[in-house]
Amino acid sequence: MRKAGELINEFLREGKLKDNRSTPIGGGAYGVVFQSDTPGNVMKQGIPGGFDNDFVQEADLQSVAADMGFAPRVAGVERFTGGIGDRIEMQDVRGNFEPVQSIQGLYPADPMFNVRSSQQLGQLALKGVRLDDRKADNMMQNKMTGRPMQLDFGIASRVTAEDQVMALADATEDGFRAAGIGDIGDIFRDTVYDLINGGQLAEAMDVAKQGFSRLQKIKQVA
């Protein structure tokens, strides 16, 4: 049985977190982000009736990106009965990162920021992770360098075989388009997909990697 002291401490902690949750940092239809009871961290918590997401998987995929310097470091995951109210504790990056300027509140306005974000997504694809839903609210930028920081891994997945090739090709095409060479992006993506549809998976990955290598060299938009 749990000791009375542990139960009291947990009760007090949940009271503090409830107060923090009442003044959220951000959130949406599926969850809310608020200050953790641990200094330097924040919490992302699912809400009843929200998206049925596996927070353990989300934290695992975010950790892959965090190890690459693309996402906040994950401190832990807390799970509750039925998955209702599960939460991820992570690094609070607001000291060095700021919101991204957007077009009509949706997508990042700076083309070079989008190129750099696509470069990160391509590197994640090479690690077997596909990250989608890249609207401005799900990213931040370094206050000094403009480097993207990827947030919200709720719509992320492990990818292998042709799904991995497509993830790399899609990130590369998006990067080419942001750089102002969308015509090259269209030809590149069509070539990769034609190879996939023809059963030439190894050749498709080779072409995808060649295209991504070119994307990584882009330092300014056309």
Backbone angles phi, psi at 3, to 5 degrees: -75, 155
In the sheet where 26-27 sits, what is the strand order? 26-27, 31-35, 41-46, 87-91, 74-78
Q: What is the pLDDT of residues 66-111, one digit of tens each?
A: 999 999 999 999 988 765 688 999 999 999 999 999 998 889 999 9
Tell me the mean pLDDT in the region 42-68: 86
pLDDT at residue 52 in the model: 59
Share of the chain above pLDDT 90, in %: 77
Q: Answer yes or no: is pLDDT of 49 > 60.
A: no
Contact 116, 147 (CB under 8 A): yes
pTM of the model: 0.91
pLDDT at residue 162 in the model: 97
What is the rounded (10 degree) CA torsion for 10, 12, 13, 14? 90
CA 57 – CA 47 distance, rounded (Å): 17
pLDDT at residue 214 in the model: 98
pLDDT at residue 177 in the model: 97
Strands (E), 154-222: 156-158
pLDDT at residue 26 in the model: 86
Q: What is the pLDDT of residues 100-157, one digit of tens each?
A: 999 988 899 999 999 999 999 999 999 999 999 999 999 999 999 999 999 999 899 9
pLDDT at residue 48 in the model: 66
pLDDT at residue 163 in the model: 98
